[in-house]
Amino acid sequence: MTARPSALLDDLDTALLALAPIRRRILAALIEPASAAGLAEQLGMPRQKIGYHLNALEAAGLVQLAEERRRRGFTERLFVAAQNYVLDPALMQAPIDPAAVEAQDRHAADHLISTASTLVRDVARMRQDAAAEGARLLTLTIEADVTFAAPADFDAFTEEVSAAVAALARKYAAPSGRRYRLTAVAHPAVSKSAPARN
């Protein structure tokens, strides 16, 4: 069994368990299947300690049993983790009234953050479900840098993009089929020379 592409952490207790430093090291090491003994050697930690944390990670669904094999009279269990974990942004947010978000001005940063949080959670969950079924999740990402000479250009660009998207949405409005959600956002670009925050 290979590692799952990603796993969504949408429960606070599970997220806290995964974020513990020792368990983060174990999860990072389990991109490839390994046993408690193998991890102990790799991480330089006692096998019993690794076994304790592996049991907790397995119970929380953060690692999966990849294989069981007989070795020298005992059964060795190999585990595998996801390649990455996505923390549901909603875990760190105060409860949001969906009606209030919908009523916000489309230029409001709070609206963008709420929309992006929902996007992260929903796509991570759908990708997790698709991987469990052995299917591929078809998505589209378009990115472009735009420079506005004046504030009025931003408003004009917004109107043009909105009109173009609305026209495409009308063109691709089949009465049945798989429905997709298109989300377009614009925000000030981060300077590539800006120092990273730790």
Summarised one tens digit per residue, pLDDT across range 6-21 is: 788 888 888 888 889 9
The whole-number average pLDDT for the span 31-49 is 93
Give the per-residue pLDDT at 130: 87
63-71 and 7-9 beta bridge pairing: unpaired
pLDDT for 134 = 85
Picking from 121, 136, 139, the residue whose alpha carbon sits closest to that of residue 7 is 121
Rg of the chain over all Cα atoms, to the nearest angstrom: 22
pLDDT mean across residues, the chain? 86
pLDDT at position 99 over 90: no
- Maximum C-alpha span of the chain: 76
Task: Judge whether residue 105 has pLDDT over 80.
Answer: no
> pTM of the predicted model, to two decimals?
0.66
Number of alpha helices (DSSP H) and beta strands (DSSP E) in the chain: 7, 4
Q: What are the phi and psi torsion angles at 93 (to 5°)?
A: -110, 150
